[in-house]
Structure 1
């Protein structure tokens, strides 16, 4: 056991405590995978990250990302939150204005801008239509008629998201699915907002097989949705997605597509600073 620097940050909301919380353990060298997994279970947050010295000389730091039950090769809000916590703890990137994160999915670039951080989303490793039988099951999980689902696609970039498109933000907000029917699926639902709403899409993320049921703000899902919606001609090159509205949060995920790369941006707020004996 050793005292290690510890942070909790709030990601993807301009207002602290209305986004997605993340626990960050700094200087995590020497911790075994089982210790990391056990601590992530104890924090009871969607994800907990552990920062270490990089193995790739191009990276500024290395991160391992755990939910309460498993390790992820990549995840969105842990990427922005970890970069923010590393910088706040005194980390100095090799190149000004750009942090290079090493994770199990490879190197991820994070741009540091005055108002928010942005990460370059890794390519989708599975990006294809969802089989009709599974779409029918998803409709049952979401407790809606099958014909209300306009389209569905695999959007795998670490987490195995399935993107579902409905015709309006109102339909997304009205969803009242059964968490017991979700199983191990991870379903992200998007619908367009009315003009003048201030955001362009309403998003909800339902995650099975984990203590988290509905996620308040999700970078990996929104990265996949941005790729899919842009390729379908349904989203502009820059837009803002609202998420967490239905569960009392104020998630705001900023998306832009530049030269074929999806960039995901969000505000990050520092909430807890201290030490953990781990």
Structure 2
């Protein structure tokens, strides 16, 4: 950390993609991050030991309501889904008033992202995919080995890059997704999201699991960026309806719910957020 002057700043810890505290994906939010260096933000994000920590700042684009910087324990992301919803929730709870009624405009490394109220939840407009298309044959083989499934079990596999470099893997059923026991070594440095449909009549339409490389592979509880890319892929190819609900985090004892809707030329990815901790932090 640099020799910046420490001061008390508002801080929230929010559970995202769940209306039940401690059943979604947690996010640390520093509400007033003016004056903090990138080094300090990264150091603090590492210290929180959460998947992401965000820092709210005044916008530099006059069209935006606020600016956010998003950090994992080791790097900064231009965009991520659960940090977007959790940051917008916190900004509103802290008294933020959007310039346009009903729409919050977030400025982040990926550009401007719209966030709106949708059925009592916040939802963000999925950013454009910067890389999209079938994975290369050697990577498909690596995916089959890493997920420990036969190649024919993979119905499709596609790049879904919208900041994080996700690869989406479609399996035949939610049961197959829940049964996965990935091989960490075979996964290498791939960021992989796996999705499969539930049977008709289930409370959710799809089951999702996402795996992130590191010293040890980590399964993310609920992942907005992957679900945004998967929605564009599956709705665009006719494999998913225009509106659906995905479950994520089941294997981890979480109950994440991602609400997806194609509307007015946009894919909206939404979920509930609940503030679990509110106070101050010395930074």
Cα contact 2:142–2:186 (8 A) shared by 1: no
- 2:250 matches 1:258: no
Distance 1:210 1:94 in 2: 43
**What is the CA distance between 1:66 and its match in structure 2?**
0.2
Q: Secondary structure at the match of 1:241?
A: strand
Q: Secondary structure at the match of 1:128?
A: strand
Bigger mean CA offset, 112-121 vs 53-62: 112-121
Find 1:213's aligned residue among 199, 215, 218: 218
Cα contact 1:143–1:178 (8 A) shared by 2: yes
What is aligned with 2:162? Answer: 157
**What is the CA distance between 1:114 and its match in structure 2?**
5.4
What is aligned with 1:12? Answer: 17
Distance 2:246 2:237 in 1: 17
Cα contact 1:68–1:210 (8 A) shared by 2: no
**What is the CA distance between 1:232 and its match in structure 2?**
1.5
Q: Secondary structure at the match of 2:138?
A: helix
Distance 2:239 2:152 in 1: 19
Q: Which runs of 5+ in 2 are unaligned?
A: 1-5
**What is the CA distance between 1:212 and its match in structure 2?**
6.6
Question: Alpha-carbon deviations, 1:205-264, whole Å to 9, x = none?
Answer: 001137770011111100111111112211000000000111111010000112331100
**What is the CA distance between 1:76 and its match in structure 2?**
0.3
Question: Alpha-carbon deviations, 1:59-103, whole Å to 9, x = none?
Answer: 100000000010000000000000000111111111221110000
Question: Alpha-carbon deviations, 1:109-149, whole Å to 9, x = none?
Answer: 00024510010011000011001110100111111111111
Distance 1:168 1:114 in 2: 28
Using structure 1 for the length normalisation, give the TM-score: 0.98
- 2:153 matches 1:144: no
Taking a change above 3 Å as real, the CA distance of residues 114 and 241 of structure 1, as seen in their structure-2 partners, is closer
Taking a change above 3 Å as real, the CA distance of residues 210 and 220 of structure 1, as seen in their structure-2 partners, is farther
RMSD (Å), alpha carbons? 1.1
Find 1:119's aligned residue among 120, 124, 127: 124
- 2:50 matches 1:28: no
What is aligned with 1:181? Answer: 186
1:222-233 superposed matches below 5 A: 222-233=227-238
Taking a change above 3 Å as real, the CA distance of residues 143 and 219 of structure 1, as seen in their structure-2 partners, is same
Q: Secondary structure at the match of 2:11?
A: strand
Taking a change above 3 Å as real, the CA distance of residues 180 and 2 of structure 1, as seen in their structure-2 partners, is farther
Cα contact 1:60–1:101 (8 A) shared by 2: yes
The number of residue pairs the alignment matches comes to 278
Taking a change above 3 Å as real, the CA distance of residues 210 and 275 of structure 1, as seen in their structure-2 partners, is farther
Q: Which runs of 5+ in 1 are unaligned?
A: none
